[in-house]
Structure 1
Amino acid sequence: MAEQGAGAGGSPGWGGGGYRHRWHGAPPWWNRPDGDASRRRWPWRSTLAFTVFVLVGSHAAADMQEGERAVLDPFARVLLLLGTLMLLWRWRRPVVVVFGTAATAMVYLGAGYPYGPVFLTVAVGCFSAVVTGHRKAAWTAMGALWAGHVLMAHWLYAWLPPGGDDAASWGQEGVVVAWGVAILALSELARVRREQWARERAERAQAARRRADEERLRIARELHDVLAHSISVINVQAGVGLALLDSDPEQARTALTTIKAASKEALGEVRQVLGTLRSPGEAPRDPVPGLDRLPELVAQAADAGLTVDIEGEPPPLPPGTDLAAFRIVQEALTNVVRHSGARHARVRLDHEGGELRLRIDDDGPATGADAGGGGNGLVGMRERAAALGGTIEAGPRADGGFRVLAVLPVRAPRENEEER
C-alpha cells in the first residue's frame, strides 16, 4: 500500500519521488515499532526458515570439518533446535533471546561441535535486541560469547571435546571479533534508522493534526461569517416585518421576501462549506466568494437599513486572498448592522505596493459595549489576515464611529510556496 501511494506522488524510478516516498514511508518488517501488528504476531515463517537453514547448514559444516570437530549427535541437534526456536520470542523477549542464543551457542561450541550456522541464531537475537532498544544486553551477550570462546579455545580446550584438539590460533579470534563487530554495526544502523523513522512518523502525525486543526478553524470561520451576516439581516428584517405587519403590510411583505432571500443564500453557502467535508481532495463545485460579490453585500446591507458606499475597484486576486477580503468586508458590515446605530458605512479598496488595503468605516454611534463586534468576529478577521501574512486593525475613530483596516498581501506566502 505504501508503494502504491508513493507512485501517485512522483516518478517510480530511483531518482523520482516514488523511491523517496518508499524509503521514507513504512519501514521494512524488521524495523517497525513495537506497537505494529507484525510485532504482535508470532514470527513462525522466518523462524522456520532459520531452523531449516541452521540444521542443514550445520550438517554441511560437520561434513567439511569431519575429523576436526565432534560429530553431530542428538544433543547437538537439540541445542540447534533450542537456539532457533527461541527466535520465536525475539520481538517479545529480546533480552532473554539474545542471552539464551548466546548461551546455547557457547554450550554447542564447548561440546566441540562444528563451527557454522549456529552463530546465525546469535546474530538474529542480537539484531532484535539492538533495534528494540536493548543495546547493553546485546553488547553484553556478544562480549560474553566471545570471552567464552577465548576461554574454551585457548585455555580449556584440553579438557573439552574433541580429544587431542589443539589451541585455536589468535587469527581465528580476529575473525570471530570481526564477525561480532559486523553484526553489532548492522544492528546499530537498523536501530538508528528505526528511530529516525519513528521521528518522521511523529512529525507527520503532528503535521496532520496541525492541518486538521487549521481546517477546522477555517470551516468554523466560514460558517461563522456566513451565518452571522445572514442571521443579522434576517433579525433586522424580522423586526421590521413585525413592526409593520399591521400598519404597512406591503413593507412587511418586502421584509419577509428579504428574509427568504437571505436564508436561501445562507443555506447555499453552508452547503458549499460542508460539501468540502464530504468530498475531500476535490475542487469546490461552486465558485468561491470574492470581492466581485460586493454589490450583493451592499444590497443586503441596504435591506437591513444600512447604506454602503464602495470606493475603489477590486483588483485581480488569488482565490484565497479574494475570499479573505470578501469575508472581512462581510463581517465588518455585519458588525455595523448588529452593534452600531449607524445608517451609513463606507468601504474603501486601495491596491498598491503588492498590498490590498481594505478600510471599512461607519459613522456610529455604538449601540452597546461591543462597538466593533466582539467574540469570534474580530478574531476570525485577524486569523484570516494572519494566515495570508496580513494585519487587521480595528477600533473607534476619533471623530466617532468605528473603523476596520485590513492590509493583505496580494500574493500570500502559502500560495507562493504551493506554486513553487
Structure 2
Amino acid sequence: MALSLRPARTRDAVVALAVLLVVAVWTLVMAHYEPEPAGRAAAGWALIVIGCGALLWRREQPVAVAVVTLLACGVYYPLSAQDGPLLIAFALALYTTAAEGRFAAAVALAAVTLLAVGLGELRQRPGHRQIDDTSLAMMTGWLISLVAVGRAQRNRVAYLHEVEQRALAAEREQEARARQSATEERLRIARELHDIIGHSVSLINVQSGAALHRIDKKPAPEIALGTAREALQAVRDTSKEALRELRATLGLLRRADEAAPTAPVSGLALLPELVARAAGSGLDVRTRVDGRPVPLPPQLDLAAYRIVQESLTNVTRHARACTVVVTLDWGERVLRLRIEDDGGGAPAPDGPPADTTGSGTGYGTGGAVGSGIRGMAERARALGGELTARAVPGGFRVDARLPLPAPDPHLSPAPAPEADSHPHPHPHSDSDSDSAGKADPA
C-alpha cells in the first residue's frame, strides 16, 4: 500500500512546490513595489507556506486541506499588502475535494467562500471595495467551474475504473470458458478412445484367450491349426476396425483449423459389423428393430453407436453371458436403445432399487462405477436423453433414451440395421421399471 502511495505523494509534492514557487515569486515582485512592515511580511510568508504546504495531503484529506487553505487565504488577504496568488492553493484544494468524491463538502466550501467575500465587501466603506460586482460574479463562476470540473473528473475516473473492471471480468470469463471447453474436449476424446480401444482390445483378448484354451486341450494338429487361424483372423479384423476408427478420430483432432465434420466416425449404419465382431467372441448376439428408422444427426448417430459398442464390450469382458439382445425402438420423438444379456451378475429379485444415475451393482465390480457406464450416461445427457443400467433377474440391462429431432419431410427413412434372421424370445421383460445403474470397471 505504501508503495502505491509513493507516486501520488511525489506528484502532490511537485504540485505543492510549483504553487509555492509561483506565489513566492509573485509576492517578492509585489514586495519590491509595495514594501510592508517586517512583522506583517513574516506573517504573510508563514500563511503562504501553510497554505501551499497543506497541498501535500490534498488527496488523503481533501476536505481538511481545503479548509486550511481557505482559512489561510481568509487571513492572508486582509493582512498582506502584496495580495499574492495564494488563492491558487485554495482553488486546487477545492477541485481536489470534488474530484475525490466529496461533492457536498466542495459545494459547501464554495458557498462559504462566496458568502465570506460578499459579507467582507458589504462591510467596506463606500468607495473602498476590493472586489466589484463584476469580479464577484466572475469569482462565483470560477468557483462553480472548479467544483463542476472536479465532479466531472470524478465521474470520468469512476467510468474508466468500471470499464477496466468489466474488461477484467470479461477476460476472466473468457479464460474460464476456454478452460471449460478444453476440459469438455478432453473428456470427449477420452470417451472416444475408451470406446474404440476398450471394445477392440476386449474382443481381441476374448478371442485369443478362447483359442489358447482350445489349443491347451492338445487337439489334433489340423484342429489346432484351424483354431489358431480363426483366432488370428478375428484378431486381424478387430484390430483393423479399431485402427480405422482410431485414425478417423485422430484425423479429426489434427484438423483443428477446419470446420467441424458433418459425418460421424461411426454410426448405427455400422451396427451389423459391430454385432458380427461381438459374435466372433462366442456370444450369441441378436438385434431387433421396432418402429420406423429415421435419419439421425451425426452426434446422435455416433452416441447411439457408442452406447451399443460399450454395452457389448462390458458383456464380453465381465458378464459371462451367452446371449445378448440389442433392441432399437424407434418412436416418434425418442430412440430407445436396450442391450440385455443373460449373464450371471444379477442380484436377488429383492435387490437394490433402480438407480438412474448409472451407479449400482454389476459385472462383479462391487458397486464401483467405471468410466464406461459414466461415459455412456454422459453421452446420453449431453443430447438431452438419459441412460439407466442395472442388473435384473436373469442378467443385465442397459436402457438409453435419446430424443429424436423433428422429422424432415424431405429426408427418406434411414435403412434399418440388419436384424437377427431367427428371432428368439426376449431374455428379459420389457418393463421400464427394471432400468437402473450398473458399474463398469473399464
In the alignment, which of 398, 403, 417 is matched to residue 409 of structure 1?
Answer: 403
Identical-pair percentage: 41
Name the SS of the counterpart of 1:320 in structure 2. helix
- One-letter code aligned to 1:297: L
In the alignment, which of 107, 110, 118 is matched to residue 17 of structure 2?
Answer: 107
Structure 2 counterpart of 1:382: 377
By relative contact order (CA 8 Å, sep 6+), the higher-ranking structure is 2
Q: How does 1:339-354 map to 2 (within 5 A)?
A: 339-354=318-333
In the alignment, which of 296, 308, 319 is matched to residue 273 of structure 2?
Answer: 296
Name the SS of the counterpart of 2:210 in structure 1. helix
- One-letter code aligned to 2:21: A
The CA deviation at 1:108 is: 2.2
Contact 1:324 1:385 (C-alpha < 8 Å) held by counterparts: yes
The CA deviation at 1:274 is: 2.8
Tell me, in whole angstroms, the C-alpha distance in 2 between the residues paired with 1:217 and 1:258. Answer: 30
Q: How does 1:361-376 map to 2 (within 5 A)?
A: 361-366=340-345, 369-370=364-365, 375-376=370-371
In the alignment, which of 291, 306, 311 is matched to residue 332 of structure 1?
Answer: 311
Q: How does 1:116-195 map to 2 (within 5 A)?
A: 140=60, 146-147=66-67, 150-151=70-71, 153-157=73-77, 163=83, 169-195=139-165
Distance 1:113 1:392, change over 3 A: same
Larger Rg: 2
Tell me, in whole angstroms, the C-alpha distance in 1 between the residues paired with 2:368 and 2:271. Answer: 20
Contact 1:392 1:407 (C-alpha < 8 Å) held by counterparts: yes
The CA deviation at 1:332 is: 0.6
Distance 1:159 1:149, change over 3 A: same
In the alignment, which of 202, 209, 224 is matched to residue 179 of structure 2?
Answer: 209
Structure 2 counterpart of 1:323: 302
In the alignment, which of 225, 228, 236 is matched to residue 260 of structure 1?
Answer: 236
In the alignment, which of 276, 279, 282 is matched to residue 305 of structure 1?
Answer: 282
The CA deviation at 1:237 is: 1.1
- One-letter code aligned to 2:323: H
The CA deviation at 1:296 is: 1.0
Distance 1:314 1:229, change over 3 A: farther
Distance 1:371 1:171, change over 3 A: closer
Deviations 1:132-172 (A, max 9, x none): xxxxx995366566556545555435678965669683542
Name the SS of the counterpart of 1:395 in structure 2. strand
TM-score (norm 2): 0.60
Distance 1:103 1:188, change over 3 A: same
Deviations 1:101-131 (A, max 9, x none): 23322332243369xxxxxxxxxxxxxxxxx
Distance 1:164 1:406, change over 3 A: closer
TM-score (norm 1): 0.63
Structure 1 counterpart of 2:248: 272
Contact 2:23 2:86 (C-alpha < 8 Å) held by counterparts: no
The CA deviation at 1:377 is: 1.3
Tell me, in whole angstroms, the C-alpha distance in 2 between the residues paired with 1:270 and 1:158. Answer: 94
Tell me, in whole angstroms, the C-alpha distance in 1 between the residues paired with 2:85 and 2:369. Answer: 93
| Greater alpha carbon shift after TM alignment, 289-298 vs 262-271 | 262-271
Name structure 1 gaps, 5 residues minimum.
1-91, 115-136, 413-420
Distance 1:240 1:167, change over 3 A: closer
Tell me, in whole angstroms, the C-alpha distance in 2 between the residues paired with 1:93 and 1:228. Answer: 59
Alpha-carbon RMSD: 3.3
How many residues are matched?
299
Tell me, in whole angstroms, the C-alpha distance in 2 between the residues paired with 1:241 and 1:148. Answer: 101
- One-letter code aligned to 2:76: L
Tell me, in whole angstroms, the C-alpha distance in 1 between the residues paired with 2:332 and 2:67. Answer: 76
Structure 2 counterpart of 1:48: none
Contact 1:336 1:342 (C-alpha < 8 Å) held by counterparts: yes
Tell me, in whole angstroms, the C-alpha distance in 2 between the residues paired with 1:287 and 1:94. Answer: 57
Tell me, in whole angstroms, the C-alpha distance in 2 between the residues paired with 1:334 and 1:397. Answer: 18
Tell me, in whole angstroms, the C-alpha distance in 2 between the residues paired with 1:232 and 1:261. Answer: 13
Contact 2:390 2:397 (C-alpha < 8 Å) held by counterparts: yes
Distance 1:299 1:392, change over 3 A: same
In the alignment, which of 189, 202, 206 is matched to residue 236 of structure 1?
Answer: 206
Contact 2:320 2:343 (C-alpha < 8 Å) held by counterparts: yes
Structure 2 counterpart of 1:395: 390
Deviations 1:223-263 (A, max 9, x none): 11111110111011111222344532113201101101211
Tell me, in whole angstroms, the C-alpha distance in 1 between the residues paired with 2:372 and 2:397. Answer: 14
Contact 1:157 1:167 (C-alpha < 8 Å) held by counterparts: no
Contact 1:111 1:160 (C-alpha < 8 Å) held by counterparts: no
| Greater alpha carbon shift after TM alignment, 269-278 vs 320-329 | 269-278
1:356 aligns with 2:356: no
Deviations 1:327-358 (A, max 9, x none): 00001111111112222211111222421111
Distance 1:371 1:173, change over 3 A: closer
Name structure 2 gaps, 5 residues minimum.
25-56, 89-138, 347-362, 407-442
Contact 1:358 1:407 (C-alpha < 8 Å) held by counterparts: yes
Distance 1:102 1:156, change over 3 A: farther
| Greater alpha carbon shift after TM alignment, 214-223 vs 276-285 | 276-285
Distance 1:318 1:161, change over 3 A: farther
| Greater alpha carbon shift after TM alignment, 338-347 vs 154-163 | 154-163
1:200 aligns with 2:170: yes
